């Protein structure tokens, strides 16, 4: 361990206290006009106690958050191979256009005559999404991928109910994102999980056996979370439709096939699209997301709003909540409009030829990693992989090094670790997704580091792995303690003392 | 293809290592008839240069009337406040903007500590014990709160007061309806005393009220909380204007069990309605039923304080179909903006900003109430109030927009008030923030004078 200093700081290793530990009454970080004389209309419901916020000047606040930012890994600092999360470069042009006053300084409840540009932008985005997927209708409202799943399932349920056929069961492969079953339950369904085959795909025979007249929908991720294309997707679609159920596409991995495959042709009745994954909107440390849903003709009549329509005179109108059998409102206002702007700027930048090239490069990069890493690591399934490649912990057997240890050791090599322990169907899973925006040099650097780590693990250097990370702002953090004794906020020292007594 | 670094040579070498003849060959699992080239997407334009894209997007941006282009009084759940320049600069730092969910806490302490500070700020503002690391927005947070109350009380009905934002009512009704929960919507009425306690029975899990209400009124919720609790139900309070919490008593101090809100007012632009930042706070005893992500304090292997995502055993990636919600996204970046802005305001700045909003709104209400033919409907408010124009408000709003004034919201046209639209037809909801000038108010007053007498 590095010896302590008086400040806790050493070189660029910064110890930054909480903002609450830095305030001094009497400081302020903003300029505000004097409060004019006016009659109070608060009806006596006035805040009595202070809020408890610290008072700081602007430079202190700026330094605090700059120093905090320096403790973060990000896609702009290096490769972020989180499988299934898709961390690709976020173009700054997207940020520039999103900040144009006609998008950023616009209120969704302004009269429709004053928001024609924003509606036009949304209409064009919707057109791109329906054209790229071959679908008939789109709703832009869902705030994230999981919200999109919920919206799609609501539409499915609404369609069943509209024809007087309330079904109860939704079938989800066990390799699906955990949000799939959770969304189905939120929509009032019971969930049946079905296992996959030894080659990482849905077991068609098991699925067919599970189908019946009470099945409302089957949810399928394609490409799936093992990084593989579900070859039998059409057979599955036919079987699903034969029992009168709908086929839900989890489009989280659309980035592997965008510009090459139209999901409508796979037989999906609806599919959500994570704009940040396929269309490069930034994820900001956990969000925001945006999860538009596209619908085939079979579900277009129940698709929720907003639906933006272009009139013959070129003006736009909006059906926020379509009415009839359609699903009601999913979120206040229009959805994540700021993400729409960024996604559309990205689509326009790449175009049909660029999207084709991007999905191809993403798949190429994943297969390149799989080919090279197979020298020391154990692929869970034979390729070809799609945009991500999956390894199990077979190569670590007998080394005393776990997937977690291996991932933490990557931090000391300067990389953000891959997705660990997902999908659940593979033991000690390591899911690696390079994306199309990494150069060959960056990919080779990652490969060299991983191969070297694998060799060191096999050579018996387990202790070094257990001690990792050693060079990050923090060593390994005690997650058990955090969960057993949750401390979820700062408490003023006086209160803390009183509470302890 | 400025975003794609691979050269033709790189691709050839990578294919050689893989042992594949072409990129298309890597798609061999896709049935041939389903695989297309760019020619199959003729309706989609080819790629464009940075300059071309910027021009096309700027054309869209110019085709709307931005809020800053003239007098502006639109609120209704989103508010136009001055955001200090440092806030947007800081959230555009790559390390915040382009980071992912902090799944590797050792190299995500920046995001995690910021979320811990955010959770603390939200708990302090709302007067609650704990807050989560944010949800999508206020409306979906309200629906999540309703479902959480159902889990806690094991009752199956949620009452929504007439004070609640119409869109929030619609979202709650839609989402809870699909989850099999009964929703009882009280009539939307700016003057109803919201005697929602009378709607509570033995099957009621919670009552959702909003303070300040959608029409502006500010209420002491203490008696309502007592009445709701006496019947074994929970009180959920929604706050759509977070700045109000600098002046109005906190929902926690008035007896709320769950507080949801929209945090857009701090640090975030209007952005045509999203992304925004959903606030969610509750009492310690309900912690494990709370949806969404939580950041918790812990120590590292050297005993130093650090932060991690915690209590994930409630979440979908562990509990799947038993999870407290399906949410696996927060509003991280918007929450960061919220936290930075609130840090710059501090105790003094927040109180000052709230007082300024209230005083300007109070003066504007007095000025507008002097316009012949209209009437100020609610006697209490924070920075938003309702006028009765004595004639349908929507056409007046349109005519004022044509004169360059965005006068506010005609609530009768919103989703969520269909049943009450007739009663609301003449109403106009007007918001006044620190960005509204005396000249703006004068322009609105004189334009209204002309329009109403015409």
pLDDT in tens, B92-147: 999 999 999 999 999 999 999 999 999 999 999 999 999 999 999 999 999 999 99
Searching chain A, which residue's CA lies closest to the CA of residue B102? A285
Instruction: Note the pLDDT of residue B1.
Output: 80
Note which residues in 334-373 of chain B have CB less than 8 A from chain A: 334, 336, 339-340, 342-350, 352-353, 355-356, 358-363, 365-366
Chain A nearest-CA distance from B337, in A, is: 10
CA B189 from centroid of its chain's CA atoms: 22
How does DSSP assign B257-272, residue by residue? SEEEEE-TTTT---GG
Q: Do A73 and B108 touch (CB under 8 A)?
A: yes
DSSP string, A41-84: -STT-B--S--------HHHHHHHHHHHHTTB--TTTS---BTT
User: What is the Cα–Cα distance from A228 to A196, expressed in whole angstroms?
Assistant: 12
Q: How far is Cα A283 from Cα A275, in angstroms, rounded to an integer?
A: 10
User: What's the DSSP call for residue A82?
Assistant: B
Q: What is the mean pLDDT of chain B?
A: 97
The confidence score (pLDDT) of residue A259 equals: 98
Instruction: Tell me, letter by letter, the H, E, C secondary structure of A96-120.
Output: HHHCCHHHHCCCCCCCHHHCHHHHH
Return the sign of the alpha-carbon dihedral for residues A26, A28, A31, A37. negative
Closest partner residue to A72 (CB to CB) among B41, B99, B246 is B99
Are the C-beta atoms of residues B424 and B412 closer than 8 Å to each other? Answer: yes
| CA–CA separation, A51 and A32 (whole Å) | 19
Structure token pair of residue B183:
């929703």
Quote the ipTM score: 0.97
Q: CB-hemisphere CA count at 13 Å for A495?
A: 7
- Please state the pTM of the whole predicted model: 0.98
For residue A384, whether the previous peptide bond is cis, meaning omega lies within 30 degrees of 0, is: yes
Mean pLDDT of the region B383-389: 98
Asked whether the CA dihedral B317, B318, B320, B325 is positive or negative, the reply is: negative
> What is the per-residue pLDDT across A351-393, written as a single tens digit (0 to 9) for each?
999 999 999 999 999 999 999 999 999 999 998 999 999 999 9
State the Cα–Cα distance between residues B347 and A387, nearest whole angstrom. 49
DSSP string spanning A266-283?
A: GT-SEEE--HHHHH----
Residues facing residue B428 across a β-bridge: B387
Residues B293 and B313: their CA atoms lie apart, in Å, by: 11
Chain B residues in contact with A334 by the CB 8 A cut-off are 272-274
A20: phi then psi, degrees, rounded to nearest 5 = -70, -15
Residues near A295 by beta carbon (within 8 Å), at least 6 away in sequence = A135, A136, A137, A138, A139, A152, A155, A269, A270, A302, A303
DSSP conformational letter for B136: S
Dump pLDDT digits (tens) for B433-449.
999 999 999 999 999 99
Tokens of A34: 């004097």
- Is residue A497's pLDDT more than 70? no
Q: Using CB atoms and an 8 Å cut-off, which of residues 232-271 of chain B contact chain A?
A: 245-250, 253-254, 262, 269-271
């Amino acid at each position: 361990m590095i010896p302590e200093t008086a400040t806790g700081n050493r070189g660029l290793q910064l110890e930054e206290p909480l903002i609450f530990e830095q305030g001094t009454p009497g400081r302020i970080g903003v300029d505000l006009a004097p409060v004019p004389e006016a009659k109070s209309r608060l009806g006596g419901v006035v805040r009595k106690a202070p809020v408890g916020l610290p008072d700081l000047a602007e430079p202190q606040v700026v330094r605090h958050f700059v120093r905090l930012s320096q403790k973060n890994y990000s896609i702009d600092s290096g490769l972020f191979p989180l499988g299934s999360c898709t961390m690709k470069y976020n173009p700054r042009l997207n940020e520039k256009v999103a900040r144009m006053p006609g998008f950023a300084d616009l209120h969704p409840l302004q009269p429709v005559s004053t928001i024609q540009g924003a509606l036009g932008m949304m209409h064009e985005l919707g057109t791109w999404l329906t054209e790229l997927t071959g679908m008939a209708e789109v709703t832009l409202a869902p705030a994230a991928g999981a919200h999109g799943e919920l919206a799609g399932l609501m539409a499915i349920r609404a369609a069943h109910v509209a024809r007087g056929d309330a079904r109860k069961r939704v079938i989800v492969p066990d390799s699906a994102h955990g949000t799939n079953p959770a969304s189905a339950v939120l929509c009032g369904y019971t969930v049946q999980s079905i296992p996959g085959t030894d080659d990482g795909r849905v077991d068609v025979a098991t699925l067919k056996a599970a189908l019946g007249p009470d099945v409302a929908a089957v949810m399928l991720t394609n490409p799936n979370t093992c990084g593989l294309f579900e070859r039998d997707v059409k057979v599955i679609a036919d079987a699903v439709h034969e029992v009168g159920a709908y086929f839900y596409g989890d489009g989280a991995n659309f980035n592997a096939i965008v510009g090459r495959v139209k999901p409508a042709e796979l037989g999906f009745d609806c599919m959500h699209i994570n704009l940040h994954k396929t269309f490069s909107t930034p994820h900001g440390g956990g969000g925001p997301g945006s999860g538009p849903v596209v619908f085939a003709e079979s579900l277009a009549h129940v698709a929720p709003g907003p639906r933006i329509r272009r009139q013959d005179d070129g003006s736009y109108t909006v059906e926020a909540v379509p009415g009839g059998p359609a699903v009601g409102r999913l979120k206040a206002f229009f959805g994540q409009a700021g993400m729409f702007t960024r996604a559309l700027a990205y689509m326009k930048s790449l175009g049909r030829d660029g999207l084709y090239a991007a999905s191809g490069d993403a798949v190429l990069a994943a297969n390149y990693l799989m080919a090279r890493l197979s020298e020391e690591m154990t692929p869970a399934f034979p390729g070809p992989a799609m945009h991500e490649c999956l390894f199990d912990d077979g190569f670590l057997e007998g080394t005393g090094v776990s997937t977690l240890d291996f991932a933490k050791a990557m931090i000391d090599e300067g990389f953000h670790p891959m997705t660990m322990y997902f999908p659940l169907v593979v033991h000690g899973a390591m899911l690696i997704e390079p994306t199309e925006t990494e150069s060959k040099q960056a990919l080779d650097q990652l490969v060299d580091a991983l191969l070297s780590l694998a060799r060191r693990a096999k050579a018996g250097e387990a202790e070094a792995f257990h001690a990792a990370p050693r060079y990050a702002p923090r060593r390994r953090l005690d997650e058990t303690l955090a969960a057993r004794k949750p401390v979820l906020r700062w408490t003023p020292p006086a209160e803390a003392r009183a509470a302890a007594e | 293809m400025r975003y794609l670094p691979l050269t033709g040579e790189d691709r050839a070498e990578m294919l050689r290592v893989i042992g594949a003849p072409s990129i298309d060959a890597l798609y061999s699992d896709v049935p041939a008839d389903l695989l297309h080239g760019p020619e199959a997407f003729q309706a989609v334009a080819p790629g464009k240069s940075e300059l071309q894209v910027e021009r096309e997007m700027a054309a869209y941006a110019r085709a709307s009337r931005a809020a800053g282009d003239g007098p502006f009084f639109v609120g209704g759940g989103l508010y136009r406040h001055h955001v200090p320049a440092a806030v947007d600069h800081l959230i555009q730092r790559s390390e915040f903007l382009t980071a992912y969910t902090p799944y590797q806490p050792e190299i995500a302490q920046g995001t995690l500590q910021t979320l811990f500070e955010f959770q603390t700020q939200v708990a302090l503002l709302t007067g609650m014990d704990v807050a989560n690391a944010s949800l999508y927005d206020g409306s979906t947070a309200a629906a999540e709160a309703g479902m959480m109350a159902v889990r806690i009380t094991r009752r199956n009905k949620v009452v929504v007061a007439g004070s609640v934002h119409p869109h929030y009512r619609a979202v709650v009704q839609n989402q809870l309806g699909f989850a099999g929960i009964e929703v009882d919507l009280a009539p939307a009425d700016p003057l109803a005393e919201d005697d929602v306690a009378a709607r509570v029975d033995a099957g009621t899990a919670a009552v959702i009220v909003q303070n300040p209400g959608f029409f502006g009124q500010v209420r002491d919720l203490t008696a309502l909380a007592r009445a709701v609790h006496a019947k074994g139900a929970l009180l959920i309070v929604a706050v759509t204007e977070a700045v109000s919490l600098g002046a109005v008593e906190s929902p926690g101090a008035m007896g709320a069990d769950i507080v949801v809100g929209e945090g857009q007012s701090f640090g975030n632009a209007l952005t045509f309605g999203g992304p925004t930042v959903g606030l969610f706070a509750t009492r310690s005893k309900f912690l494990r039923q709370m949806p969404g992500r939580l950041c918790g304090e812990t120590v590292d292997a050297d005993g130093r304080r650090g932060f991690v995502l915690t209590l994930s055993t409630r979440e979908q990636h562990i509990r799947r179909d038993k999870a407290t919600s399906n949410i696996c996204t927060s509003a991280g970046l918007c929450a960061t903006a919220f936290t930075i802005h609130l840090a710059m305001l501090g105790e003094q700045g927040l109180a000052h900003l709230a007082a300024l909003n209230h005083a300007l709104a109070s003066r504007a209400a007095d000025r507008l109430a002097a316009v012949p033919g209209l009437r100020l409907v609610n006697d209490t408010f924070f920075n938003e109030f309702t006028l009765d124009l004595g004639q349908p408000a929507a056409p007046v709003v349109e005519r004022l927009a044509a004169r360059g004034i965005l006068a506010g919201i005609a609530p009768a046209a919103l989703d969520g008030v269909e049943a009450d639209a007739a009663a609301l037809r003449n109403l106009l909801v007007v918001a006044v923030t620190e960005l509204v000038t005396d000249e703006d108010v004068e322009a609105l007053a004189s334009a209204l004078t002309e329009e109403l007498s015409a």
